[in-house]
Each structure stands twice: as structure tokens, then as C-alpha cells.
Amino acid sequence: MHTVEQLQKDLEQLGLTKGDMVYVHTSLRAVGAIEGGADTLIDALLTVLGPEGTLAVPTHTLSYPGFGQPPFTPSLPTMVDLGTFPELVRKRPGIYRSGHASHSTTAIGKHAKILTENHDPRVAVGAGTPLHKLWQMNGKILLLGVTHTTNTTIHLAESLAKVPYRFMHYNASWGTATYEQLPDGTIQKHEQAEFPGCGNEFNKIQPLLEAKGNVNVRPIGSATSYLMKSQDLVTAANALLESDNTVFLCHNPKCTCCVPKREFMNA
């Protein structure tokens, strides 16, 4: 049974420090049994970060009419695919949540408001988004019990590198516009300028990060975890994209995202 004291020590040994701004992707199952449950892990993170730090998590909802999700509201629960942890962060007092109807970010701490405000409803993860601000502010990425296949910042790198396929949808059947419910009850749609895609090939970046010494790896609880600077991650992703701009497209013949993107790039 992992205690808050042990989790704090693990996080510090991984390289997380007071005042850090960190974006966390998490698998609670990988962490193992925690004394006091998942909220203990949040407490451990906030204690290590201190009052000058900022904790951010993905609270995506994929609110596309064609996907079957309800319209976005600030209180709309996080997609269950992202697990329990980000939804528990979202329910904490003092949080800020960005307003993108597909890829919102929730944050708590000193820079939470700055990180989440003015999220363009047409841009999920590109310029001006919370992930972009975190990159600009030299924040860190923590993969806690998960791998780079969940690492949304690599989609930021695709956007900043202006890969041509960023204009193509993850799944065309969802439609090209997200939708949200405004406080007066009306529904507003937002045509998307870019679309994050499949992340199944994102683990290709790990050897490059290791070769440069730009990633720390150790257990948090029972979960193998990875800590890196967002800027180092984007630099590594750009290096791979410069050598092959299809490097992050998967080869699954049934992938509704990567198959049309690869065909487009090879046309």
C-alpha cells in the first residue's frame, strides 16, 4: 500500500521540484494500491510542487456531435478513457479549466489561470493552447504509469512543425466541428482548424530522449514513470519529423486516422 510520504519521495527522486509546472498523464492501475485512494496521489503532487507550482491534466471530452458525446460545458466529466485521476483533479476546489470542447486542460496552482485562459475553441493543442503555454514557460511532462502513446504534447510538436496532415480529422465520421452548451442553454459549434491524431507510434521518441539524457525514468509507486521538459520533448519530436514527416503515423490498416493521412502524404 503506497503512502503519501512514499509517493512524495518517489516524485522528488524522479526530478519533480517545488515551483515546477507539470502536465500529468496517469494510470492509477499501474501505480497500485494507494493509502487513501487516488486523492492521495494528487496531494503528493501538490505537496512536491508547493504553492509556486502548477499541476495540469488533460480533461478531454471529444464533444463532437458525430462522436456521440454531449456538448461541452465546464462541468462535463472527463472521458472515462483518460481514467479517474484527471476527473478527480477537475473536481478539486480552486481549479481552472480551459474552454476547448474537445481537448480541455484543467490546472491547479500558481499559473493555472494563465495556462488555461483564452483557449481558442478552434485549436485543440496548437499555438496558444495550454500545452503551448506550458512549452513556452519551460514546463514539464510527467507520464505516470503510461507511455508516450498518451503524450499529447507530441501533437503540439506536429502542429508547430506544420505537418500537412494536421488538417485531417482523427475520424471523419465525427464531423469537423465541436459543440458546446452556453450558459443560456444555446448550442454553439466551432469548426476546428487542426485535429490531433493517433498516438500509437509516439514511443519512437523515447530512444532519442534517452540518448540526449532528456528523460528521467523511475517508479512512482509501482508505476514506471517518465519525466521530461516539454521543450526537450518538442525538440526531439521535431527532429524525427524533419527526417520523416510521417514518422508518427501508425501502420494499422484499420486505423481511421492514420490510413487517410498516410495516403494523403504519399499522394
Residue range 145-201, pLDDT digits in tens: 999 999 999 999 999 999 999 999 888 899 999 999 999 999 999 999 999 999 999
The per-residue pLDDT for range 55-76, each reduced to its tens digit, is 999 999 999 999 989 999 999 9
- pLDDT at residue 245, as a whole number: 95
pLDDT of residue 171: 87
Count Cβ atoms below 10 Å from residue 19 Cβ, excluding itself: 12
Quick one: cell of 190? 466551432
Percent pLDDT > 70 in the chain is 100
pTM of the model: 0.96
**What pLDDT does residue 17 have?**
98
Residue ranges covered by each domain of the chain: 4-266
Pairing of strands 105-109, 140-144: unpaired
Q: Could you tell me if 59 and 82 are in contact, meaning their C-beta atoms sit under 8 angstroms apart?
A: yes
Which residues of the chain form beta strands (DSSP E)? Answer: 21-26, 54-58, 96-97, 105-109, 140-144, 177-181, 187-191, 216-220, 223-229
Residue 183, all three cell numbers: 450558459
pLDDT of residue 80: 87
| Model pLDDT for residues 4-13, shown as the tens digit of each residue | 999 999 999 9
Q: For residues 18 and 12, what is the distance between their CA atoms, to the nearest angstrom?
A: 9
Query: Residue 227's pLDDT is what?
Result: 98
User: By C-alpha distance, which of 59, 57, 51, 53 is closest to 79?
Assistant: 59
Quote the CA–CA distance of 109 and 95 in Å, as a whole number. 8
CB-CB contact of 163 with 243 (8 Å): no
Q: What is d(CA 224, CA 216) in angstroms, rounded to the nearest whole number?
A: 10
